[in-house]
Structure 1
Amino acid sequence: MAVDWLGFAYAATIILGGFMGYKKKGSLMSLIAGLFFGTISTYGAFRITMDPNDMWISFGAAAALAVVMGMRFKKSGKLMPAGFMTGLSLLMVVRTLVL
């Protein structure tokens, strides 16, 4: 059983990003969303660690975050954080489909 290190790193990035949004801008919504999506992504990485074919939770969390952050990136045009998270989430979507 191989540990899904990329999935756990992605989840940690989401949680850290939510915390940074709260710390720098005082955005409680960033903190809540970061904790929510980070927790789901952590559980998804755990499920992939247990069964590599059980990728639907990770896929769903990454796809939802890609859509949400993609819309924010399109609206704001700012690379950080919306563009970065959109790209990272799209990479995770592709990774889960290829896995």
Structure 2
Amino acid sequence: MAVDWLGFGYAAAVVLGGFMGYKRKGRSLASLIAGLFFGTISAYGAFKVSTDPHDIWTSLAASGALALVMGLRYKNSGKLMPAGIMTGLSLLMVVRLLIF
């Protein structure tokens, strides 16, 4: 059984991003909640991929939804941090899940 380290790392990055948004945006509770929500789902998805490498659907849904939401935010704001970074990470995660 191989551990999905990339999946768990992605989940940690999502949680950390939500916490940073909370601290940097003057206690933005929405950033914190979204980071915890998507990070938890991503960690659960990484756990499922670790137990069954073909069970990618939870991770794919979480990273796909985050890529879409953050991609729209990046398109509207043009800011690389955090929207552009999270869009890129999420798209890389989607590609990784679909290829492997």
Report the TM-score range of the alignment, normalised by the length of the smaller protein: over 0.9
Instruction: Indicate the residue corresponding to 2:40 in structure 1.
Output: 39
**C-alpha distance in 1 between matches for 2:83 and 2:24:** 15
Deviation at 1:30, TM superposition (A): 0.3
- Fraction of identical pairs, as percent: 73
**C-alpha distance in 2 between matches for 1:92 and 1:33:** 18
- Relative to the length of structure 1, the TM-score reads 0.99
**C-alpha distance in 2 between matches for 1:21 and 1:83:** 14
Aligned structure 1 segments of 4 or more residues deviating by more than 4 angstroms: none
* Correspondences of 1:36-75 after superposition (within 5 Å): 36-75=37-76
- Root mean square deviation, CA, Å: 0.4
Instruction: Indicate the residue corresponding to 1:81 in structure 2.
Output: 82
Deviation at 1:38, TM superposition (A): 0.1
* Correspondences of 1:88-99 after superposition (within 5 Å): 88-99=89-100
Instruction: Indicate the residue corresponding to 1:3 in structure 2.
Output: 3
**C-alpha distance in 1 between matches for 2:6 and 2:36:** 18
Deviation at 1:88, TM superposition (A): 0.4
Mapped pair 1:20 → 2:12: no
Residues 35-76 of structure 1, C-alpha deviation per residue, up to 9 Å, x if partnerless? Answer: 000000000000000000000000000000000000000000
Deviation at 1:24, TM superposition (A): 1.3
Question: Tell me, which stretches of 5 or more residues in structure 1 are unaligned?
Answer: none
